[in-house]
């Protein structure tokens, strides 16, 4: 009983937020913003409901019910049409999906985009600690010198799935093989599910199934384990075992990328080999600057 009350209350709150959100976005637009002629004096600012409905290609009554927060079922196609009519950005579009009771949408542009310069600067400024960007395929298009040194990254062959399962020397850097394998495959499966029309994911998986028995073992388990561990240990050829506190961040401005930041735990930070490595990396950073 209590569960049903909570569910009813939650739907009421969501419909109220949906109503207010749509009204505010409609009021923020002028007819000329969306290619409509200005019709002179308006009692209220912004577009009229019927104008939004025409722009979205849906019925005026249907849009009115949606904006009034009535308990109606809407499809992703309708929500996308309304978001385009109201010129919503990606965060606003995702918010509209949630208010409509739908799962978060896929980004409109499913093609891999470039790296915004601001994200490049964040990675560079994280020195002398490792930082990297990982795209939806597991490629690492951007990493700083600390990540290069600690994780043995290179500009070539830097797909983390391909490298982990096909390069035994590189895989040896990660002592917790089972956990890392699960995270790498879990990430690949998760992204493939998000972009079902992108066959490149299956190309990667098919290559690894053919060439890596270890990959086949983990892939056939159908487990999803994303990179959520707070700590990660790496075996560095000179410094030995290094443990880092790890944070992975989704980026609303670049949904095709995840930002991975690393900082040493107390034991790693206090070790003499790592202190020497930090000094070397700091000197490199100053030389580049």
Q: At the topology level of CATH, where does 117-288 sit?
A: Beta-Lactamase (3.30.450)
Confidence of residue 41 (pLDDT cuts 50, 70, 90): low
Q: Return d(Cα 15, Cα 100) in angstroms, integer.
A: 8
Q: Return d(Cα 245, Cα 175) in angstroms, integer.
A: 16
Lowest mean pLDDT across 37-51, 69-83, 113-127, 188-202 = 37-51
What is the overall mean pLDDT for the chain? 84
Model pLDDT for residues 153-178, shown as the tens digit of each residue: 988 778 999 999 999 999 999 999 98
The answer to whether the beta carbons of residues 257 and 248 sit under 8 Å apart is no
**Residue 12: pLDDT above 70?**
yes
Per-domain boundaries in the chain: 2-99, 117-288
- Percent of the chain with pLDDT strictly greater than 90: 31
Confidence of residue 35 (pLDDT cuts 50, 70, 90): confident
77-111: string of b/e by CB count within 10 Å (b at 16+)? ebbbbbbebbebeeeebbbbbebbebeebebeeee
Question: For position 109, what pLDDT does the model report?
Answer: 54
Q: Return d(Cα 124, Cα 145) in angstroms, integer.
A: 8
Q: Return d(Cα 67, Cα 20) in angstroms, integer.
A: 8
CATH number attached to the domain at 2-99: 1.10.260.40
Confidence of residue 1 (pLDDT cuts 50, 70, 90): very low
Q: Return d(Cα 34, Cα 214) in angstroms, integer.
A: 54
């Amino acid at each position: 009983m209590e569960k049903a009350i909570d569910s009813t209350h939650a739907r009421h709150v969501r419909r109220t937020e949906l109503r207010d959100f749509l009204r505010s976005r409609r009021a923020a637009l002028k007819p000329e913003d969306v290619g409509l002629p200005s019709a002179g004096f308006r009692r209220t600012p912004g577009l009229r409901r019927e104008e939004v409905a025409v722009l979205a290609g849906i019925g005026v009554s249907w849009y009115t019910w949606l904006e009034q927060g009535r308990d109606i079922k809407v499809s992703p196609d309708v929500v996308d049409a309304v978001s385009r009519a109201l010129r919503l950005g990606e965060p606003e579009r995702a918010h509209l999906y949630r208010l409509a009771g739908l799962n978060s949408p896929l980004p409109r542009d499913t093609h891999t985009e470039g790296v915004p310069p601001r994200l490049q600067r964040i990675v560079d400024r994280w020195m002398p600690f490792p930082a990297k960007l990982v795209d939806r395929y597991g490629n690492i298009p951007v990493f700083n010198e600390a990540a290069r040194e600690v994780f043995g990254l290179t500009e070539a062959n830097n797909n983390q799935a391909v490298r982990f399962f096909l390069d035994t020397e590189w895989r040896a850097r990660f002592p917790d093989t089972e956990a890392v394998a699960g995270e790498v495959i879990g990430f690949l499966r998760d992204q493939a599910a998000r972009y079902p029309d992108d066959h490149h994911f299956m190309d990667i998986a098919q290559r690894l199934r053919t060439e890596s028995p270890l990959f086949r073992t983990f892939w056939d388990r159908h487990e999803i384990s994303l990179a959520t561990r707070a700590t990660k240990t790496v075996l560095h050829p000179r410094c030995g075992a290094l443990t880092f506190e790890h944070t992975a961040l989704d980026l609303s401005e670049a949904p095709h990328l995840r930002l991975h930041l690393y900082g040493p735990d107390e034991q790693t930070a206090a070790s003499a080999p790592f202190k020497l490595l930090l000094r070397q990396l700091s000197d490199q950073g100053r030389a580049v600057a």
